[in-house]
Amino acid sequence: MKKLSVAVAAALLAASCAGADKYGIPNADPVAGFGETVGAVSCDFGGHDAAYHIHVQLTVILPSGMTAPVPASIGVKEQCMYWLHTHEPDGKLHVEAPNETVATLADFLEIWRRSANPSIPDAVAAGLAEIRVVGELVASAESVVLADGLGIEITVKSFPSE
């Protein structure tokens, strides 16, 4: 009987953990639409480094209190590269456009949804996260216009249930 109880407990634990990554972020596939324009952000073959290039720092804090990496290569695939993207998993967002443009945090989160696991952007869209810009709470990702040197923190309170 004891062996059966241990086996059942192990199976339940495995089932509860199977749908999340090592940070506890629920696994999900990117949504369709990669390559389509998002807001004022197009997807092309890049090469805009000298025209308009800014960096924004994004930190994501999970319900556990752990900091999650922002994935590398958000907005980057063989077919094209969005003007708003990441290179490394360091939270540095790059805007590399042919001329000055307006991009928002909402634009980045939508590009993230199309590029990688959408669980964090989906939590923001569902109102299950707080967004702070330079320490100040903001109402929405749409209201955050990306500017050079801007620091943004997303604190995920929970993830949408499936």
- Go through the domains of the chain in sequence order and give each one's CATH number: 30-156 (3.10.20.30)
Residue 17: pLDDT above 80?
no
* pLDDT score recorded for residue 46: 73
Average pLDDT value for residue range 26-48: 91
Q: Structure tokens of 152?
A: 């943004």
DSSP result, 90-132: TSEEEEEESS----BHHHHHHHHHHHS--HHHHHHHTT-EEEE
Per-residue confidence (pLDDT) for residue 26, from 0 to 100: 95
Is residue 8 scored above 50 in pLDDT? no
Statement: residue 38 has pLDDT above 50: yes
- pLDDT above 80 for 36: yes
Query: Residue 48 has what pLDDT?
Result: 61
What's the mean pLDDT in 76-87?
95
* Cα distance between residue 106 and residue 87, in whole Å: 19
Distances (CA, A) of 117 to 9, 72, 89, 100, 138: 29, 12, 13, 29, 24
Cβ atoms of 74 and 111 within 8 Å: the answer is yes
